[in-house]
A = this chain, B = another copy of it.
Amino acid sequence: MQKYKLVISYDGTDYHGWQQQPDKKTIQGLIEKALDKIAGKHIPVIGAGRTDAGVHACGQVAHFKADLNLSKESLLTALNANLPKSIRIVSLKEVDIHFHARKMAKSKIYMYRIHNSPNISPFKIRYVLHVPFPLDIPSMKKAAPLFIREADFTPFSSNRLLYPIRKVLRSEIHESGHEIIYTVEANGFLRYMVRTMVGTLLEIGKGRMETEKIEELFKNKKRTLLSPTAPAHGLCLLKVKY
């Protein structure tokens, strides 16, 4: 029996997210289907984390156990041949039998892209949020690092977990041409956490919320629904660190 680690890249636009769901096209579902075809039996594929419907990935990680009479090069080729082109296995390697994609993940990095200019190229619309009116970028840049802390992130999530403490290690905004790129790294993320943080930064960028409000939201420890959740299509899971 061998354990394999996959790095996966996908355009999430046409899928119902990572997690397997009956009668729905999901990334996990399609990878399992491809693997089952190669192995001739069902093999579960465990991802580092779920991505929501419409969210993209450059570096999602997953693992599976199998006893296959195939080199890892052939297995990689066979998997990609059985997957739609909008899902690509970037790399496949044999790992220690104790490796676990989710449990052993130390941190994850997400990127959110905002195109801030009146016009947008039709070739970018699937991958960035278009905000046609000017945003207060200096205020957004000032606010972003306020998320760097170990805290209860319930105010920036869609639901309350028993253990809602997460440690955000990096939270910053930089600009590239007309794009505002938000990068966030944490030891874990609550449901909708990145998109709610982006929604908060957008409220600040629109002048509808003061930067100081972030501190207040953390103190309340409640889901206040103050910040809208930013749309899925601007978000990309960049990397999982082990």
Contact = CB atoms under 8 A, between A and B. Distances in A.
A10 B122 contact: yes
A119 B73 CA distance: 12
A125 B120 CA distance: 20
B119 A88 contact: yes
If over half of A's interface residues share one DSSP class (helix, strand or loop), that class is named, otherwise mixed; here it is loop
Nearest to A88: B122
Interface size class of A (residues with CB under 8 A): 20 to 34
Contact of A125 (B56, B86, B125): B86
21 contacts: A9-B121, A9-B122, A9-B123, A10-B122, A11-B122, A11-B123, A11-B125, A56-B123, A77-B118, A80-B119, A85-B120, A85-B122, A85-B125, A85-B130, A86-B122, A86-B125, A87-B122, A88-B120, A88-B121, A88-B122, A90-B119
